[in-house]
Structure 1
């Protein structure tokens, strides 16, 4: 592999480690087929998306990226939630001009289970000086209705993607618009912190450099030093962002917005930039693509797709 190609892949995969950090406030479960060998983590790579299939291997080089995070925490206003495992899978088309195009799976790049919010509704909106909310707070004592879960969802494509920042520290890697879905019978099904129109925009930065590993394998995932595929693994890079603003909660409970007001008052929302933070203690990121994509031109995208499908056990 040529050195400049190695550096490009390293930059891309480092940058993408950040994305998995914000997939959810819970434990991820990555659906998809069981894949052989070195393909195993890439269960949802969008290899059949038009942009991936159209990648020729010269002007546009297709790759698959998976990023998971083990633990961390996020502070939104006055509320802190511990994060669990997350799973992000995307396709990346490396363009000859040095830019990258992110391709998400049709079902969405982020897959995660919700996390339980400490204190439940009692912690989220009680006590309150709003009369109706006060009555709800009293009824929640020792009630199963107190439990509330939160899931972070992507609400638009990532942007401002900086490959170079992926191998640096203290430089924003990508802008990721998200919202947080709060779920509880009393909150209803449309209670969110942030919306598609006014999302939380996360801009993660590496705080240290990840450990680097590389392997080669055949199209079906079998390890082979002379294989046509390569895989880069980056592990252990801590990341942080304390620059994002958090909008007010909306859509919570009663149409007249009383629960919105209680949630926002108790949690300190909206919260200006500088008052919020996300810390990711650990990341595990892998990137794979054709070892020498030029040899598969102009069908690099199609070859990548065929290889992925051949690894489907």
Structure 2
């Protein structure tokens, strides 16, 4: 890989200190850094346009920021079949697993072909209002259906391949990929899955029932979540924590494996279970 695109969350990298370090490292190992035209926007605003700008000019995108920056970048980059590597300038960083002090070593590994590219499954979501398709989107991490700020229990009927599974009263439901199992779904009590697995995780959010548990379906299943007809307030469908859609009683959403996959570049030395242990349990490898 010679041409490497760079996307930076400038609120995480004030003054572009780590970005400049990355550029220098790419040049040192004989590569070309592809940088988008900088705008006056801050943080993740305008990142979509920046990714679009460089996608046709590079073979890999490296993003600097947190997992939110990674997701924002990946949601555009996957359309160009480009692999992505994340440098963690945030907190946990399950997707951005290269730390600040590892930049030079990571770039060296890339130019020595000492890496793998993992293809992760994505979810396709379709929202229906009054029986008609209202919106479509894809998710790398998850799709959540939740209360839109109203302190009322949300009743969600869940179906697997059109077969009724259960009614979940509570704050909502998260439908996650294995990649997203360490995000919102985990916070809601869902299981952690190896990110290269092929399955769909459904986790109730604060369920108002004693027996409620997460359940796991195969990648070939279709999950349908319907808002109770009696719910008059707005509910919110959120995709990857990036995009929101309002729905109400009688509306429903269908979620299944997407046809496309996102490509994540991984340095060989990075093992998911080691990362999990260090980040979740804050333990050092012995």
Pairwise TM-score range, normalised by the shorter structure: under 0.3
Higher strand share: 2
Structure number, greater radius of gyration: 1
TM-score of the superposed pair, with normalisation by structure 2: 0.26
Higher relative contact order (CA 8 A, sep 6+): 1
TM-score for the superposition, normalised by structure 1 = 0.24
